[in-house]
Structure 1
Amino acid sequence: MHRSFRLALSLALCAATTLAFAQKGPSFRFKWKDGAGLAHYSDTLTTDAMKYGYEVVNDAGMVVQHVDRQLTPEELAAAKRAADAKAVQDTNARAQRQADVQMLAAYPDEATFTQAKQAEMDSLDQTIHTTQGNLSSQEKALTDLLQRAGDLERANQPVPKALNDRIAEQRTMVSAIRSTLERQQANRANAQLKMEGQVRHYRELRKAQQEQNPAGQ
């Protein structure tokens, strides 16, 4: 009988405590650690708590929310740069996936893809060949002008200003065409490397596609 009385009393006290807490409502406070690692508590949110980061603790001592510390202006700027870079990376990745799908749809096999890329290289070669022919023609014209000036000098005759001006103009033209040819040849070399990389990429994509769909082989 005595034991039953104590059990009933305990249950009554627990019920009363629960009811009082429910009527009062939950109460929270803030906990944080400073730069030295010392813990602090406060009923209000302080600037130090926001500076170091804090936890929201209820009456039972349980953490109900964790809030990271405030970032410095430099950290915020770095975070923004990282987010912007990630956004660009994601955009490029989506564009690449879309381009890969279109490429596989447009070229059913590696031979067809390689043939299309080789056609692009042939076009570059034709442009280079045209520039080489133009350069050869302009170099011959410059040689002829220099020959005329040399003949006059050997005859102890003055070289007319118009001829000297024409030689200067022709040299400038030849130099410009040579620069154009060098640029085209460099572009062609880069295009060759790019084409080789594209063919390898196509081969890898097609292999992965076939592995995912063996029945389509």
Structure 2
Amino acid sequence: MTPADAPAFRTVAARPHEPLRTFHARRAALGRDRTDALERLFPRYGFSVHDEAAPAPRDAHGLLDAAALFGRRAPLVLEIGPGMGATTAAMAAADPDRDYLAVEVHLPGLANLLVLVERLGLTNLRVAHGDALELVRTAVAADSLDAVHAFFPDPWPKARHHKRRLVQPEHVALLVSRLRPGGTLHVATDWAPYAEQMVEVLAADPGLVSDGLVARPAHRPVTKFEQRALAEGRASHDIVARRLP
């Protein structure tokens, strides 16, 4: 694939009529290997939430067609903000009976995850570039997700920015509506005040039963980000909830 044929990526920025973003839209250098991964692998393993030139496969109702995306029908896990992708790749590799869709706005992380997909030969992992909440809102069918993971989303620590946090009632209600009955919502943070908010929000949602703060489940690897936080004295907090029947 030549650069002219490669998928075009645009920065995801909020417009006045759109919901507040829960992430920073950042620019960063990709480097040769990650640029190569995007050019070669994104057309095979990815799609864009925002760019019609690289659309998601759709079913007859205009919703995401996971069977066409993965080439099979299997329980689907949505990973929101996989970062550089090591945790998502490890979880997908250890869980071959489920499919993983990782939605990331940060191109270096998405490219790095594509490198891992190729290196590990993963057939149950696909990527999407863009805003995960927009994808869920516009293209994910109700009751279609087996699990939603959001590990270490931006804590937006300043009080005036709390409205931008991912875990808040309206966002959680949206995610719960896409979970199957019995499906799980698993979030984690190293920011203690955010963990308190997560516990409160998940416990208050009428569609969930929450386990509250739990020890890190064995299936979630410790991330490099988490290791750095621990070295700086910030403990991690996991919260797991299940959708009621």
Instruction: Please give the range of the TM-score, normalised by the shorter of the 2 chains.
Output: under 0.3
State the structure with bigger RCO (CA 8 A, min sep 6), 1 or 2: 2
TM-score w.r.t. length of structure 1: 0.17
TM-score w.r.t. length of structure 2: 0.16
